[in-house]
Amino acid sequence: MKLRGRIVVLVVWAAAVAACAWLAWHSRYTTDLSAFLPRSPSPSQRILVEQLHQGVVSRLVLVGIEGAPAPVLAAISDALTQRLAGAPEFAYVSNGAQERLTADGEFLMKHRYLLSPGVTPERFTLTGLREALENDVELLGSPLSTLVSRLLPADPTGELQRLLELLEPESGPQKRHGVWFNTDGTRALVLAQTHAGGFDIDGQERALARMRSAFDAAAEQRPTGVRLQATGPGVFAVAARAGIEQDVARISILAVLIVSVVLLLLYRSPLALILTLLPVASGAIAGVAAVGLAFGSVHGVTLGFGATLLGEGVDYAIYLFTNRIPGSEPGRSLARVWPTLTLGVLTSVVGFSALMFSDFTGLAQLGLFSIVGLIAAYAVARFVLPQLVPEHFGVRPTAGLGPALTWAADRAWLLRVPLLVLVVGSALWLTLRSGGLWDDRLESLSPVAESDKRLDEAMRRDLGAPDVRYLVVAKAATEQAALEVAESVGAMLEHARQTGALEGFDSPATILPSDATQRTRQAAIPETDILRETLDQAADGFPFRKQLFEPFLQEVSAARQAPLVSAGDLKGTGLALRLESLLVAHNDGWIAMLPLRGVRDPGLVAAALHDANGVELLDLKGEADALYHSYRGQALRFALIGAGAIALLLLASLRSPRRAAEVLLPLVAAILVTCTLLTMGGRQLGIFHLVGLLLVVGVGSNYTLFFERETFGRTDPQRMLLSLALCNACTVIGFGLLSLARAPVLSAIGTTVALGAFLSLLFGAILAARMRP
Amino acid sequence: MISGTSRARRTNSLLWLLAVLVPVALAGEPESIQRQSVPELWGLEQLMVELGRLQHSQARFIERKYLKVLKSPLELSGTLEYDAPSRLVKRTLEPKPETLTVEEDRLVIESPARGRSRTLRLAEYPVLWAFVESFRSTLKGDLAALERFYQVALEGGPQRWQLSLTPRDPKLSALIESIRIDGSKGRITRIEVRETQGDRSVMTVLEGAP
């Protein structure tokens, strides 16, 4: 090439790299794991996923304090709760101690005549009042008289008690020394709610930091060994992000180091090493820039894929150098390799492009990053690298390796029978194994470590948070309409409860009745004078002092005129937290959620709700599993389409079914055996493994292509085998290191592709047509 | 909505409220106790030793509750049963049958008329616990347990003694002014509970099995 052309190429390349680097530098980087929770299909599933993301559930932090005798833990729990109560990061903090609950008691007492369902016209009739007073006398005889006699003058009809009955936690946490504890008294429990959503990881991190410093201050003179344990969606997200950040940095550095060492050992030339890494570096920068442009932000996990790009991107330069015979005309030997390399790039690109249509934003990013990165690396290797290589530059690979590989490859066909046995065995194993091939639980996408999950479950159990499976969801245009729907659904559910279909349920309308209901209750209260007269009559024959119920008469008549209770009045109580979890603003409407307890007959419950409009009975476990199922179905579809497209591409460019089959056969064998290896020991495959299998086709075909008879015949076998082995080693190193990552998406794809790529090469060699001399 | 208005549930929610509004922090060791001067040869220790000898006892009781909200006192009667070291049963027969059983740290309330029973852990209801211990620890002769909750003062002699219990915790003393236990030798004859708002209950323990 003329000098001028050379300069033009280099200038264009430098400018492109600079532009991409600028873009990459200015991209926003995220590690929000929700990118790996898919966008969801049905509306009810969307609610589910949204609640997972930002709902009150996602903002809960469960805190355990361990490692000291119970009284010490209780004292620390109190101190911690007090310090956190005023912190701006937390909306609510409670350890079960009275102060917090008193706020609830005061709220209920103040608004009892608007909140209690006992406030009906019948309640204030002669019969209704007599019944209430009879009840009171009975309670005064019990050991509870201390309390009853104090409440009696203001609340003879027992509305506060009725409200407590309704709102009493079904299985509240155990208490010791006045605060929540686990069953055996070894862990004090605190429940906190952050302002930040569970997936606002920065916000969650600030909240956690605040909690840690508050704990350190609270436990200043603690005995050694006292520790703070926190779990919850936000805590997990923070831990996962830290994990991803560490993993990505560690894996990328390791991959570069190991690949460099391998290349140095073979090339024994630092210049060759630098030139080999040049296309990869350009590709990575271009990939990041493209993702930043297309998605607005770059996910940390995507950067983790840089390691795999390294594995494949170095291939082009390796072919370039190892197939270049020193002193010879560089063009000729390479001219034979480029068509195959180009086809290899295309198959990889087709494989990765199936990812781009995924509902998982994260996977779509991985797809785009890999495609752009590979094409850029390929282009740099093909057009830029030759301009940079000094004339007469060539690599003399370590002696002995080439002949050894040739010797092995010549005899590889001997393994065809064992390979057949292995493939048939794998196929049988995969069809016959019990327990199913696929892990169908949504949790399998979760990046949370098993031990953290167990701790979280234990604390949830101790805190008596019921494991809700069935949930009634009611949609309405306004908050009031949602509450009204919740009330009518509540009536239907109460009816179903009496038939034994379920044990009970929670409703936002229990905590905050609709305005209409509150007005009905106000209307049920008679005029003060009339009520006074009826009460006097009712009290006749009971030993109550005269004028005793004056506070009652005053408060009940005040309630008739009182402003209606709104959500704002709940501020600062634990009830606000409950209301917020049951009544949420959603898009342009409101959603009321009524979790059901002890559902014995879902069919009966569904039938009871038959007439309700805009109301849905959700089986959360069923929905979650169906959701996952649909994601997997989609991933499977994309994988099949991707594999089919690769097959078509091979068929079209090789122009022969036989040649295409020679390329594909080793891949099929590699996939079967990879699946078998992955599922050994009872493990199951998830969505990310499936994605990995597709990449095995895209990446593995790069190796089997060269074993195809006609391609192989055109090359120098020894140099070709050497470059194949080297390329494969780099790919296996890149993906193999990825399998060490803690994020399931990275480790699953890494393991699958590393195994599959290695097996593709091996099986390709075994199945290759016998080489001619 | 969630449950019927069963009385047992109501009782439970009242206890919950009791725990909510008037809790007692029980952490920490009791401070050293200032005992009043008592006759040299006979004192708290001796009384407690004598009380502690009792392994089993049964008696009838009559309880009168003088409540400010009522014009006339309520009267309840039934039987008491004690098995050392920690089981105590108060069986009210009149006017409505109800059984309270305390065993170790559990309190069981049974209302046969309503066919319901409810079990509570005393550790979760500190006020109730303190109340139970005033009686049970005395029967047991467990001075340490008694002093954990109350300041204890003794008057009189072996033939006719009087224990005065004053709550230590300010939250309990907001409810209960004092508890006075009268007895003769190793036997309790009368328990009077004075509440801060002027309510008072007197339980007379009648000698002999019912």
Task: Tell me whether residues A165 and B2 touch, CB distance under 8 A.
Answer: yes
pLDDT value at position A364? 85
Which residues in chain A touch residue B7, judged by CB atoms under 8 angstroms apart? 138
pLDDT band at B36 (very low <50, low <70, confident <90, very high): very low
Cβ of A140 within 8 Å of Cβ of B65? The answer is yes
Question: Judging by DSSP bridges, how do beta strands B98-103 and B87-94 pair with one another?
Answer: antiparallel
Q: Does B176 contact A102 at a Cβ distance shorter than 8 Å?
A: no
As a whole number, mean pLDDT of residues A271-287 equals 88
For residue A690, give how far its alpha carbon lies from the nearest alpha carbon of chain B (Å). Answer: 46
Distance CA A621, CA B164 (A): 60
Q: Mean pLDDT, to the nearest integer, of A400-414? A: 80
Above 70 in pLDDT, residue A334? no
pLDDT confidence of residue A394 = 64
Cβ–Cβ gap A138/B3 under 8 Å: no
Predicted pLDDT of residue A717: 74
A416-443 mean pLDDT:
79
Q: What is the mean pLDDT of residues A83-100?
A: 78
Residue B170 belongs to some domain of the structure: yes
- How many CA atoms does the CB half-sphere of A357 hold within 13 Å? 12
Asked if B15 reaches chain A (Cβ–Cβ under 8 Å), the answer is yes
- Any idea how long chain B is? 210
Predicted pLDDT at B32: 36
More confident residue, A574 or B132: B132
Could you tell me if residue B10 is inside a domain?
no
The B residues from 147 to 206 touching A (CB cutoff 8 Å) are 175-176, 195, 197, 199, 201
Q: Tell me which chain A residues have a C-beta less than 8 angstroms from the C-beta of B200.
A: none
Contacts of A75 in chain B (CB under 8 A): 27
Query: Tokens standing for A597?
Result: 């307890």
Residue A231 CA to residue A347 CA, distance in Å, equals 44
Question: Is there a domain that residue B6 lies in?
Answer: no
The answer, yes or no, to whether residue A448 has pLDDT greater than 80, is no
Q: Closest chain B residue to A100 measured between Cα atoms?
A: B20
For residue B67, give the nearest of A97, A102, A145 by CB distance: A145
User: What's the gap in Å between the CA of A149 and the closest CA on chain B?
Assistant: 7
Q: What is the pLDDT of residues A219-234, one digit of tens each?
A: 777 677 888 888 887 7
Q: At a CB cut-off of 8 Å and minimum separation 6, what does B127 contact?
A: B18, B19, B22, B23, B24, B171, B172, B175
Q: What is the pLDDT of residues A146-169, one digit of tens each?
A: 777 888 888 888 888 888 777 765
Q: Which of B2, B7, B27 sits opposite A71 (nearest CB)?
A: B27
Q: What is the pLDDT of residues A742-762, one digit of tens each?
A: 777 788 888 999 999 999 999
Range name among A400-409, A420-429, A666-675 with the lowest pLDDT average = A400-409
Q: Which residue has the higher pLDDT, A765 or A221?
A: A765
CATH of the domain spanning A1-30+269-396: 1.20.1640.10
Query: For residue B4, is it within any domain?
Result: no
Query: Nearest C-alpha of chain B: how many angstroms from A148?
Result: 8
Domain residues for the domain of B117 are: 39-206
Considering CB atoms only, which of A137, A176, A490 is closest to B123?
A: A176
Q: Which of B69, B136, B175, B203 to mutate to test the interface with A (most CBs of A within 10 A)?
A: B69
- Span A1-55, pLDDT tens digits: 567 778 888 888 888 888 888 888 887 777 665 555 555 555 666 666 666 556 6
Hey, of A142, A159, A596, which one would you mutate to test binding to chain B, going by the most B CBs within 10 A of its CB?
A142
- Contacts of residue B128 in chain A, CB cutoff 8 Å? 143
Give the DSSP letter string of A196-240.
S-TT-HHHHHHHHHHHHHHHHHHTTTPPTT-EEEEESHHHHHHHH
* pLDDT value of residue A307: 66
Query: Model confidence over B72-127: pLDDT tens digits?
Result: 888 888 888 888 778 888 888 888 888 888 887 788 878 776 556 677 777 667 67
Instruction: Identify from B5, B13, B102, B131 which residue to disrupt to test chain A contact, counting A C-beta atoms within 10 A and taking the largest count.
Output: B13
pLDDT over 70 (residue A491): yes
pLDDT value at position B29?
32
Distance from CA of B140 to the nearest CA of A (A): 21
Q: Assign residue A246 a region (left: φ > 0; alpha: ψ between -120 and 50; beta: otherwise).
A: alpha
Residue numbers of B between 104 and 133 with CB closer than 8 Å to A = 121, 123-124, 126, 128, 131
pLDDT score at A756 = 93
Question: CA–CA separation, A415 vs A294, rounded Å?
Answer: 47
CB–CB contact A98 B69 (8 Å): no
| Residue B22 counted as domain residue | no
Residue B31 in any domain: the answer is: no
Q: Check if B32 contacts A (Cβ < 8 Å).
A: no
At B22, the pLDDT band (50, 70, 90 cuts) reads: very low
Residue type, A646: I
Q: Do A166 and B201 touch (CB under 8 A)?
A: no
**Beta strands A297-299 and A28-30, pairing class:** parallel
In chain B, residues with a C-beta closer than 8 Å to the C-beta of A97 are 23
Band of the pLDDT at A545, cuts 50, 70, 90? confident
Q: What is the mean pLDDT of residues A66-93?
A: 86
Q: Do A140 and B70 touch (CB under 8 A)?
A: yes
Q: Return mean pLDDT, chain A.
A: 81
Distance CA A431, CA A426 (A): 9
Average pLDDT for chain B: 74
Q: Which of A325, A418, A278, A370 shows the shortest CA–CA distance to A749? A: A370
Give the residue from chain A lying closest to B98, CA to CA: A142
Domain count, chain B: 1
Does A369 have pLDDT greater than 80?
yes
B49 — contact with chain A (CB < 8 Å)? no
Domain chopping of chain A, boundaries: 1-30+269-396, 403-432+656-773
A583-606 pLDDT per residue, tens: 888 777 888 888 887 788 888 888
* Residue A572 backbone zone (phi > 0: left; psi -120 to 50: alpha; other: beta): left
Q: Considering only A450-454, A675-679, B167-171, which range has the smallest mean pLDDT?
A: A450-454
Within an 8 Å CB–CB cutoff, is residue B71 touching chain A? yes
Determine whether the interchain pair B25/A160 forms a contact, defined as Cβ–Cβ distance below 8 Å: no
What is the three-state SS of A695-718?
A: HHHHHHHHHHHHHCHHHHHCCCHH
**β-bridge partners, B204:** B62, B190
Q: What is the pLDDT of residue A372?
A: 92
Q: Is residue B30 part of a domain?
A: no
Least confident range of A145-159, A237-251, A297-311, A651-665: A297-311
pLDDT band at A679 (very low <50, low <70, confident <90, very high): confident
In A256-348, the DSSP E strands lie at 297-299
Q: How far is B174 from chain A (nearest CA, A)?
A: 11
Please state, for a pLDDT cut of 90, what percent of chain A lies above it: 5
Q: For residue B195, what is the domain's CATH number?
A: 2.50.20.10
Longest dimension (CA), chain B: 63
Averaged pLDDT, B142-164: 85
Chain B interface test: which of A116, A150, A179, A493 (most B C-beta within 10 Å): A150
- Work out how many CB contacts closer than 8 A connect A with B: 124
What local confidence, expressed as pLDDT, does residue A754 receive? 92
Q: Which pLDDT does position B38 carry in this prediction?
A: 46
